[in-house]
Structures are given as structure tokens and as C-alpha cells.
Amino acid sequence: MRTWRFEDGGFLALIVLISFAFAWLVAPFLGAILWGLIVGILFRPVYLRLNTATGGRRNLSASLCLLLIVGVVILPAFLLAISLVQEAASIYERLQSGEIDLGELFRTVQGALPDWADRALARAGLTDLETALAMLGSSVSAVLRSIASRALWFGQGALELLASLGILLYLAFFLLRDGDAIGAKVSAAMPLRPEIRDSLVEHFIIVVRATMRGTVVVSVLQGLVGGIIFWILGIEAAVLWGLLMALFSLFPAVGTGVVWVPVAIYLFATGSIWEGAVLTFCGFFVIGLIDNLLRPILVGHDAKLPEFVVLITTVAGLKLMGLNGVVMGPIIAALFLAVWQIATDQRAKLAAKEADSSPE
């Protein structure tokens, strides 16, 4: 049996040091790398079908897959971001100029509320108009100002944005074309037992696909449908409302109701009874059903996380990593549970083997 030598410890320390140095080097583009990895995993089945259709021409298949990603995902997201910034900037300017009067809006809604709602506002300390407007106005203005400021960022950070997008697509190309070979090399380099390594890799792929399909796809659909409903009803800034619904749908126990319910109340309070009724019906039976029907189908049971875990890790990921953390938080949580489940299974197998080998 080979004994441990001092040189082995030195080589292990070198591996750790170089790994940390590499992580530090790529840290500015970590988001692009993570999304490139996610895109490579998600669109791998599409690439395989294209590869079969093109007769095994891998470069052509990967290039076609990238064009599909740009056309279906990246370009619509870019156009949506531009539209969102324009809407937020317009509303923020109207708030600053006084064209949108929050005081009048508040008085209109308050005057139409029933007695029990007035009592609830009193308990919340919102009977004072100035206090309520200070809370509402500062929050709304801060959010709109933050979004509107992105217009300047798009100009100043265009080079960084293009570099991140280029890294994402470049990495996705090689992961699509050479995914099997790259996966085999990474697996062979992992210092884990083969059965644990294979189980961990399998769980990682399942978790990424389930998280993206069950979280991002559902939230995008809810935001899209909600935005279209707002647009049909003639509600201003439908893109902004749709994006807010998409974001809030990522958080369990919150959901899209935090957006459309106050708007429906405002519509009823201002006499738009038909619009308020339609929005209420669609909120419950169209937007809400998207989550209730699609999420269980898209996620399945293999990577289903408890809702409290999803909520905590989504909020924590958003705080630590920004919008990337909305996806990475639940993925890390699912991998955390998977690792401990693998450890539990391995311990149970070891105990069963020891029980079988022990003398009667």
C-alpha cells in the first residue's frame, strides 16, 4: 500500500491554490459562465436532434442550436429589457413632474374601500395620507429610478454586456458540441468514488433542468400572460406589470397576486367594474392555474423542493448574487439536499453490508 509523502501534500496544496486563482480570474464573468453551463444542459436534447437531422455534422448542429437560442431567448429578452427601461423612465418622469398624482390615487382608493378595509389600514398605521404616500412614493420612485438608470448602464456597459454574451454563447457552443467528452473528463478528475460521482452528476443535471423549467419557464409564462391581460384591459405600463408578476412568481407564498390584486382593487375603486372583474377572474383562473398546472408537470418529483426551502434560497440568492441568484439559490439548495441524500444512502448501504457480514 502506497504511503503518504510530503510531496503529495505539496501537490494537493498547489491544486487548491491554482483552483482558487482560476476562480478569482473568471469571477467577473461567473454569471455568463453559469448561464452558459445552464444553456448547454437545457438545450443538449435539442442539439442531439439537430445532430441527427444534419447527419452527424456537429459544428453545424451546434451553430444552428445557438441561432435558435439567440432568436428564441436572447433577442426577445433584450427587446423586453429595452421596452421595460423606456416604460419605467416614462412613469418616473411623470411622477416627478406631478402628472401622476399619488395623493389623488390614494384618496380615490381609500374612499371606495369598505369599513373593514379602513379599519385594517388604521391598524397598519396608514390612515395618515402623508405617511402612506411617503412609504408608497419613496418605494415606487426608488424602483422606477433604479430601472430607468439602466438605460445609461446599457450605453456605458455595452462592451461588458457583449463580452458576457459572447462568453455565454462560446461556452454553450462547446458544451453542446463536446458535452459528452467534457463531462467524461470532469467526472474522471473528480476525487470521488465512481458511484457517488455518477449519482452527483445525474442529480446536478436533473436539478438544473427541473429548476429552469419549473421556475423560470413558469414565471416567464405567468409574466407574459399577465402582461397581455393588462395590455388588453388598457392598463398602462403592461410590460412593467408583466415583469413584476414574473419576478414575484419566483417566490412561493407571494406569487403574482401581490401585483394584480392591488390593481384590481384600484379598478373597482375607480368605477372600472368590468375591467376589475376580468382581471380578478384571469388572475385566479388563468395566471394562477399556470403555476398550479404546469409546475408539477415540468418539475416532477425528482427535484421537487419544499416551498420554504425555495423561498429562503431564492431570497438569499437574490441578495448575494442579484438576478443570477434567483436561479442559482434553488439549484444550490437542491444539490445540498442531494449530497446529503447520497451520504445517507451510502451510510445505509455500509450498515447493511456490515450487518450481512457479521457472524450470527
- Residue 168 has what DSSP assignment? H
| pLDDT at residue 2, rounded to an integer | 56
| pLDDT at residue 157, rounded to an integer | 57
Distance from C-alpha of 208 to C-alpha of 217, rounded to nearest angstrom:
12
| pLDDT at residue 82, rounded to an integer | 79
Per-residue pLDDT tens listing for the chain (360 residues): 555 565 667 778 888 899 899 989 988 888 888 889 888 988 999 999 999 999 989 999 999 999 999 998 888 888 887 787 777 777 767 766 766 666 666 666 666 666 656 666 566 555 554 455 455 444 455 555 555 555 555 554 567 778 888 999 999 999 999 988 888 888 888 777 888 888 888 878 887 887 777 778 888 899 999 999 999 998 888 888 888 888 888 877 678 888 888 888 888 877 788 988 999 999 888 888 887 777 767 665 555 677 778 778 888 888 888 778 878 888 888 888 888 888 888 888 877 877 776 655
| pLDDT at residue 119, rounded to an integer | 65
**Residue 241 neighbours by CB under 8 Å, 6+ apart:** 226, 227, 230, 235, 259, 260, 263
125, burial (CB in 10 Å: exposed 0-12, middle 13-18, buried 19+): exposed
32 near 165, Cβ under 8 Å? yes
| pLDDT at residue 134, rounded to an integer | 52
**What pTM did the predictor assign?**
0.73
**Residue 4 neighbours by CB under 8 Å, 6+ apart:** none
348 near 340, Cβ under 8 Å? no
| pLDDT at residue 127, rounded to an integer | 54
168 near 31, Cβ under 8 Å? no
Among 226, 230, 321, residue whose Cα is nearest residue 275: 230
